[in-house]
Amino acid sequence: MSEKDLDELLEILEEIALFKSMLPLQLRGHVNALGLYVQIREAGRWIRLQAGGSFRSYLDAWREGDGDWQLRKFDKGNWEHRFAHLVEPTYQIVDFLNDRVASFGKLDSEGVRALDHTLQHYKETSVWLGLPKVSQEVMNKLAKEKARGRLQEEREKRLRRIADAESAIRKDPMDRSAWSSLENLYYKEQRYTDMEKALKMSLKIDAARPYSITYMQLGNLYLAALSVSVRGKGVPILYNFPSNVTAETLGYRIEQLRELAKENLSKAYEIDKKNGRTVYLKELELALKAADTPSIAVFEEFDTYKEQQKQQEENESRQRLNEILHGNNEDEQKNQQTQKDL
């Protein structure tokens, strides 16, 4: 066995041991099904890799930290006669088990049958058939099911929060905190008419000192409804018209939405400008332009701006994180230098 072959063997055995340690305890025994036992242990700065039978190792290697493996023991004759041909099948077994656990959270019944069939065939014929990988189609299906499960959990939590907030409002109709919670919760549930009501109630409660963000949210709600009709995607989202709605009725309602959007966005703009709050002024200017002269081109300009703002915020967030990490590294280096100087 050449030095290159030995290095490759040690690398594969290390992977078998590490992959085995990632499995649930009850599945680790399956990795030894063919009679090759591999284990890796840490002893201070040293790592020990052993492979062989259940009671005796025929390969024993040590490594300090990330250094190279150093063979302390290698019974080459017994290894090549009894274990060399088991390395690849054992690697496939541990890879197969991790694949099933990652996909299904356990060794599923189909996986059990596949493993049993392959092992039984090998014992009877000494021919290794190999083990199936979870297909990409199945992986995609599982990912979708998990995503649907998470979405369902989130929705159930959201519905419980809506019920709690609505219960609080029945006890106190002027509960500002409850109405504020409902604004966002109704939006996520696409209950736009209820969202409109919640925003109006928040403005009523805050009449003495209204928040510009509440006017902005209400104006953007009307603007979104207006956008739906301008882009030809059906009737505005805030109103459920009968299928035989007349053009006159629809046109009147669209004009109402336009005026409501302008009214609320203008109030938000005035409050922010008066208070010197500039963060939303550009967005409000574009929103008012869309409400004043609604068209597909204007709405696309508005959407593009919001997307650019979102991207800019994400970039700034990443930059701040890098600065924090970089600052921590510099502080650590200074501390290390101070310790050296001392």
Give per-residue pLDDT as tens, 116-143: 999 999 999 999 999 988 766 666 776 6
Q: pTM of this prediction? A: 0.54
How does pLDDT run across 25-52, given as a tens digit for each residue? 999 999 999 999 999 988 778 899 999 9
Does 211 score more than 70 pLDDT? yes
Does 207 score more than 50 pLDDT? yes
* Cβ atoms of 96 and 106 closer than 8 Å: no
Closest CA to 16 of 98, 80, 72: 98
CA 88 to chain centre: 34
Distances in whole angstroms, Cα of residue 202 to Cα of each of 171, 260, 261, 266 = 16, 17, 17, 18
Q: How many residues does the chain have?
A: 342
* Cβ atoms of 257 and 226 closer than 8 Å: yes
Three-state SS at 54:
coil
How does pLDDT run across 166-177, given as a tens digit for each residue? 999 999 999 999
Average confidence (pLDDT) over 252-265: 87
Could you tell me the end-to-end alpha-carbon distance of the chain, in angstroms, rounded to an integer? 52
Q: Given pLDDT bands bounded at 50, 70 and 90, which one contains residue 179?
A: very high
